[in-house]
Amino acid sequence: MVTVETKMTITTSQLFFLVFTAILFSSAHFSAQSSNEDEEDVKKSHFPDGFLFGTSTSSYQVEGAYLEDGKGASNWDVFCHVPGNIMNNENGDVADDHYHRYLEDLKIVQSLGVNAYRFSISWARILPRGRFGEINPRGIKFYNEIIDNLLLRGIQPYVTIHHHDIPQELEVRYGGWLNPLIQKDFVYFAKICFEKFGDRVKYWATINEPGLFVNRAYIWGTYPLGHCSKPFGNCSSGNSDIEPLIAMHNMLLSHSMAVHLYRKQYQMKHGGFIGIVVNALMYEPLTDEELDRQAVNRALAFDLYWILDPLVFGDYPPEMRHILGSELPRFSPTERKLIKGSLDFIGINHYSTLYAKDCTHSACTDGEDRPIQGFVNTTGYRDGVAVGGLTGMPRFFVVPEGMEKIIDHVKKRYNNKPMFVTENGFTPPEKQSEQVQDLLEDIDRIKFHKAYLAALARAIRSGADVRGYFIWSLMDNFEWVHGYKKRFGLYYVDRQTLNRTPKLSARWFTSFLTNNSHSNKDEFWGDSFRNKDMLKRSGDKKADI
């Protein structure tokens, strides 16, 4: 006769076997290139004293409450409401409802054991009509409460002023980033942020990923305003060869003006630091041919140097000037003086490594043989074999050594300017019959962060001045054009109830931060079993995603 106790023992043993087996064989998702990094021991003690460990979110992706308490419409609010722009026609109207649940979410942040939290401020929540309207006091109150609660919990706020979302008023009035008038609006917005929050915020990033944004918004037309031209897309308006250059020019000048204001009026008083966040892919040559090696440098130039060269050296990279000639805007002597050196640190958002192929002497398609793309084709595959382990994003691959390489590259080109890894994260490949428990037992995400942290630690040991690492993201959220299907979070968010449930990776990250080790397996396996019990009680164990 099998007793109830025996049944429970068998069940637990089976669960243990399944989890243990998954750990042994989940490396199938990772490339052979990354096997050494996967196995490398990594501890918190491998990082410098005072190193910031945190998680990241952004306003539009988590807040919701899109027209509540005086908030105005943003470019993303309008764009998402156009059928066909977003997967499954989803939007950020509710998102994770962070606007109403922020106290719960800050408790979650604290429970992880982090010492920093990166978030962004909704421009339209503070200034619903930009400088053409009044400041929204309820927006100020919301961010004051977030900042104050973080500090009460011993967590440093790391604030991004602009993370893709701007008031729709500015798009309608003068075309947003395509008009130099936006520089005045951005500095006005930044000034309000410095005045209202700067006494407690020590880390400011002006703009998140300007390169990615202008590519999506003005080359491919997949971000608002949705501008593009053939062969990149079939948008109703736009010029993919010219508009991204104009928008980037205005972004960089806006950044430099905000930095100048901060340094002149607030930095000495508040003792903070200010920088920018870039999307930083690493590239490898598709072949051993010299042309593909040169393509790597052009790929980096059109992704990374485009933003950082002006802010460090005072002008666009020569690699771009050589290709684009007079189409690339020029800084006036006054602007060059303003923009040069307008960085205290560089924020690095690193997710993947790709191959680069030359398009000057080889046939390429989809606009890659045009100057605005640097005559470079980028791909994740060589002879049908992926550059690294697959993820849930088509151009994101697991290549941990890419982290070490991109950090070393930025260190050398920019004289070892202080850096923060402001985003690094993993979303698993989708399964046809995915269940909640599959998402909670995210062993591949743990392996991903262990491998990338080990690579980052090696870069630091080699002399890179890296001062922080932020996991993207705190919780599953609205992933832009992908809607809610891509799940990068340490916490699972049920789209029906919006309840937050810690994944195995959340338990691992806490263990890593609090026990100075990555290997406290009993603790986070035990929590995995408790998650199963929670799901069984709620009746959600077999719910499909």
Element (H, E) at 501: strand 500-502
Tell me the C-alpha distance between 63 and 481, whole Å: 17
**DSSP-assigned states of every residue in 185-240:** HHHHHHHHHHHHHTTT--EEEEEE-HHHHHIIIIIB--STT--B-TTT---SS--T
pLDDT of res. 516: 52
Q: Is it the case that residue 8 has pLDDT exceeding 70? A: no
- Token representation of residue 471: 């996991």
530 within some domain? no
Higher pLDDT, 447 or 434: 447
315 within some domain? yes
Structural domain harbouring 212: 42-514
Least confident of 28-42, 132-146, 439-453, 476-490: 28-42
Q: Is it the case that residue 89 has pLDDT exceeding 50? A: yes
Question: Do the bridges between strand 203-208 and strand 156-162 make them parallel or antiparallel, or are there none, so unpaired?
Answer: parallel
62 within some domain? yes
Going by C-alpha positions, the residue among 54, 38, 265 that lies closest to residue 150 is 54
Q: Is it the case that residue 395 has pLDDT exceeding 90? A: yes
Q: What is the mean pLDDT of residues 287-295?
A: 97
According to DSSP, residue 482 is labeled: G
Residues labelled as active-site residues: 209, 423
539 within some domain? no
Mean pLDDT is highest, among 8-12, 254-258, 429-433, for 254-258
According to DSSP, residue 430 is labeled: P
336 within some domain? yes
Tally the domains of the chain: 1
pLDDT of res. 71: 98
pLDDT of res. 166: 98
Least confident of 31-45, 134-148, 289-303, 472-486: 31-45
Tell me the C-alpha distance between 373 and 395, whole Å: 17
Give residue-wise pLDDT tens across range 440-475. 999 999 999 999 999 999 999 999 999 999 999 999
Q: Is it the case that residue 29 has pLDDT exceeding 50? A: no
102 within some domain? yes
Helices and strands in the chain: count of H runs, count of E runs: 21, 18
Give residues with Cβ within 8 angstroms of 230, minimum separation 6: none
61 within some domain? yes
Q: Is it the case that residue 32 has pLDDT exceeding 70? A: no
Percent of the chain whose pLDDT exceeds 70: 87
Cβ pair 435, 544 in contact under 8 A: yes
Give residue-wise pLDDT tens across range 130-178. 999 999 999 999 999 999 999 999 999 999 999 999 999 999 999 999 9
531 within some domain? no
Give residue-wise pLDDT tens across range 246-275. 999 999 999 999 999 999 999 999 999 999
- Token representation of residue 483: 């809607």
- Token representation of residue 260: 């100048």
Q: Across the chain, what does the average pLDDT equal? A: 90
Give residue-wise pLDDT tens across range 336-392. 999 999 999 999 999 999 999 999 998 898 889 999 999 999 999 999 999 999 999
Global pTM reads 0.89
| Backbone φ and ψ of 127, nearest 5° | -130, 85
- Strand residues in 256-411 grouped as ranges (E): 273-279, 282-285, 345-349, 353-358, 376-379, 381-382, 385-386, 389-390, 397-398
Percent of the chain whose pLDDT exceeds 90: 85
Give residue-wise pLDDT tens across range 99-120. 999 999 999 999 999 999 999 9
Q: What is the mean pLDDT of residues 511-536?
A: 49
Cβ pair 541, 436 in contact under 8 A: yes
When pLDDT is cut at 50, 70 and 90, the band that residue 41 belongs to is confident
Element (H, E) at 56: strand 52-56
Sign of the Cα torsion 86, 92, 94, 95 reads positive
Tell me the C-alpha distance between 463 and 457, whole Å: 10
User: Which CATH number covers residue 75?
Assistant: 3.20.20.80
Q: Is it the case that residue 233 has pLDDT exceeding 80? A: yes
According to DSSP, residue 73 is labeled: P
| Side-chain-side CA neighbours of residue 503 (13 Å) | 28
Q: Is it the case that residue 127 has pLDDT exceeding 90? A: yes
Tell me the C-alpha distance between 95 and 92, whole Å: 5
Q: Is it the case that residue 15 has pLDDT exceeding 90? A: no
Q: Is it the case that residue 536 has pLDDT exceeding 50? A: no
pLDDT of res. 365: 83
pLDDT of res. 532: 39
Tell me the C-alpha distance between 440 and 446, whole Å: 11
When pLDDT is cut at 50, 70 and 90, the band that residue 307 belongs to is very high
Q: Is it the case that residue 208 has pLDDT exceeding 80? A: yes
